[in-house]
Amino acid sequence: MGNPFDHKQPLQPLQGGMLWLAALVLAAANFVAVLDMTIANVSVPSIAGGLGATTSQGTWVITSYAVAEAITVPLTGWLANRFGAVRVFTISMGAFGLFSALCGLADSLGLLVLARIFQGLAGGPLMPLSQTLLLRIFPAEKAGAAIGLWSMTTLIAPVLGPILGGYLCDNYSWPWIFWINLPIAVACAWAAWRLLKRYEEPLQRNPFDLTGLVLLIVWVGALQLVLDEGKNLDWFASIEIITLSIVAVIGFAAFMIWELHEDHPVVDLRVFRHRGFSVSVLTISLAFAAFFGANVLTPQWLQGYMGYTPTEAGHTTAWTGVLAILVAPMAAGMSMKMDARKLVFFGVMWLGAITAWRTIATTDMTYWDIALPLLLLGVGLPFFFVPLSGLALSSVEPKETASAAGLMNFLRTLSGAFATSLITTMWDDKTTQNHAELVAISDPGGVTHAQMINQGMSPDMANQMLDRLITSQSVMLATNQIMAIVAAAFVIAAMAIWLAPKPTRSIDPAASGGH
């Protein structure tokens, strides 16, 4: 035993087509939960305009979902033990669909934010439980393929979110970004209960850790607000951000102390005693932060400075998923036979190398100059994500799988939010710094300015033209500088995986026969 992949099979386990149908249901649930983290990003102006709010107020549509989801993801282990993983998954899926429908029906920003909070609370458990249940229903020799399917939905959904959101807002109306969840949620909830209820395990009637939950809500909520609002409020120049940061730090310290000494904690931090799990989570957090940060920056750069429409930018960034989907089965197969650390090292170093290639971008790049590195980036993603998820969950005891999956997803989500705030702030700062330096060295004798005036431009027009050129180059330099930082983060993440012990409980194809 000792291996989360080696479960005692219940009577009449799912086989063949039914097994893969259950896998698709679980993957689809994870997909919509992750998709809704980014689908509203490009839709905020449309939503704000439709509800008579400012764009700044409209960002609460994103923040409210992120905070609520971040709170329930690490609670998943306790919920699964207390009420049953299949039952919690099914109810969460149904509730996600219900609150998605209410989001689309909201006629004021307040109601929309309230519905988004409940949608996030329902969506949080879907990510770790879809992973946990996949491992529970699949025989050992196919567990790698199951993780591969789940991993691809996690990586591709954030890329497709802005594309789908932009398309629905442009061609229909903003409520449709929420309404499309309803048929998927209803179908998944019904199918999951019919297919998976036989896999429900005995419940553990542990007492509820109310203090731990309150502390979790306080520090996660404060930290998420700091990350989301910091840039708008000029970070620590704002009393509000300083206050929220202090609340987050004190809340986090109190939460850690309480949970480590509580007999029945709401979040089981003891899973970090497994070095393989801790190192896997560190690696996945660093690498996902780098990937997600670059993923957020690319469409902003394309739309803001390269003349791409939202749809064109979405189609360009979507190339990342093409090779990722094709390579995933190979990565899953290799993860069953090889040392997972070697595969992760290769995958993350590949991501670093391709990102380093992106540091020599220029403003006169063609479409394929931009799209080709994004296409090749997809080769490394399955080798990073598939074996790393397997390594993390095979490092803990079977009964800890739900808690471990919840914590891993929570820290991955939090690292993505942190990277988004950090990278967009650094991008703006470096653009300003580059602009100041370029102004000092551009057209020192005023020759170009004089030539523009001689060609019939007014002095103001000539100044504006020069400033646009300088700004364009400043942004391009800043983008390249950020890509260099992201590439370095990938290299550090690749090195970190070697801190994990050599896996002793790999997925053994022969093991399934005895279980």
pLDDT of residue 42: 67
For residue 5, pLDDT beyond 50: no
Ranking 96-100, 180-184, 264-268, 346-350 by mean pLDDT, the lowest is 264-268
Ranking 143-147, 341-345, 430-434 by mean pLDDT, the lowest is 143-147
Mean pLDDT of 188-203: 82
pLDDT of residue 515: 29
DSSP H or E stretch at residue 375: helix 367-394
Half-sphere exposure of 241 (CA within 13 A, CB side): 13
Confidence of residue 504 (pLDDT cuts 50, 70, 90): low
Separation between Cα atoms, residue 202 and residue 180, nearest integer Å? 35
Q: Mean pLDDT of all residues in the chain?
A: 82
pLDDT of residue 4: 42
Pick the closest to residue 71 from 181, 223, 182, 204 (CA basis). Answer: 223
For residue 2, pLDDT beyond 50: no
Pick the closest to residue 408 from 278, 507, 502 (CA basis). Answer: 278
Q: Count CB-CB contacts under 10 A for residue 62.
A: 20
The superfamily in CATH containing domain 17-205 is MFS general substrate transporter like domains (1.20.1250.20)
Phi, psi of 373 (to 5 degrees): -60, -35
Separation between Cα atoms, residue 415 and residue 417, nearest integer Å? 5
Which SS3 state, helix, strand or coil, does residue 413 take? helix
Percentage with pLDDT > 70 across the chain: 91
Q: Count CB-CB contacts under 10 A for residue 422.
A: 17
Largest CA distance in the chain: 87
Mean pLDDT of 79-96: 90
Mean pLDDT of 364-387: 89
For residue 344, pLDDT beyond 90: yes
The superfamily in CATH containing domain 276-508 is MFS general substrate transporter like domains (1.20.1250.20)
pLDDT of residue 282: 93
Topology match between the domains 17-205 and 276-508:
yes
Please measure the distance between the N-terminal and C-terminal CA atoms of the chain and give it in whole angstroms: 9
Confidence of residue 101 (pLDDT cuts 50, 70, 90): very high
Exposed / middle / buried, residue 4 (Cβ in 10 Å: 0-12, 13-18, 19+): buried
Q: How much is the CA Rg of the chain, to the nearest whole Å?
A: 24
Nearest 10 degrees: Cα torsion 375, 385, 284, 24: 110
Confidence of residue 7 (pLDDT cuts 50, 70, 90): very low
For residue 10, pLDDT beyond 70: no
Phi, psi of 357 (to 5 degrees): -60, -35
CB 9 within 8 A of CB 199: no
pLDDT of residue 262: 83
pLDDT of residue 281: 92
Q: What is the pLDDT of residues 419-449, one digit of tens each?
A: 877 887 888 889 889 988 888 787 677 777 7
Separation between Cα atoms, residue 76 and residue 72, nearest integer Å? 6
pLDDT of residue 225: 80
Separation between Cα atoms, residue 220 and residue 418, nearest integer Å? 12
DSSP for residue 14: -
**Interacting residues of 318 by C-beta distance below 8 A, sequence separation 6+:** 159, 160, 163
- Residue linked to tokens 């050599």: 502
Confidence of residue 513 (pLDDT cuts 50, 70, 90): very low
Whether pTM > 0.85 for this model: the answer is no
pLDDT of residue 299: 77
pLDDT of residue 1: 37
Q: What is the pLDDT of residues 28-87, one digit of tens each?
A: 888 888 888 777 766 777 787 888 876 666 667 777 787 788 788 888 888 888 888 889
Domain ranges of the chain: 17-205, 209-265, 276-508
Q: What is the pLDDT of residues 237-249, one digit of tens each?
A: 889 889 999 999 9
Between 430 and 454, whose confidence is greater?
430
pLDDT of residue 55: 60
DSSP for residue 514: G
Separation between Cα atoms, residue 24 and residue 307, nearest integer Å? 38
DSSP for residue 319: T
Q: What is the pLDDT of residues 267-323, one digit of tens each?
A: 888 888 889 899 999 999 999 889 888 887 887 788 778 887 767 777 787 788 788
For residue 346, pLDDT beyond 90: yes
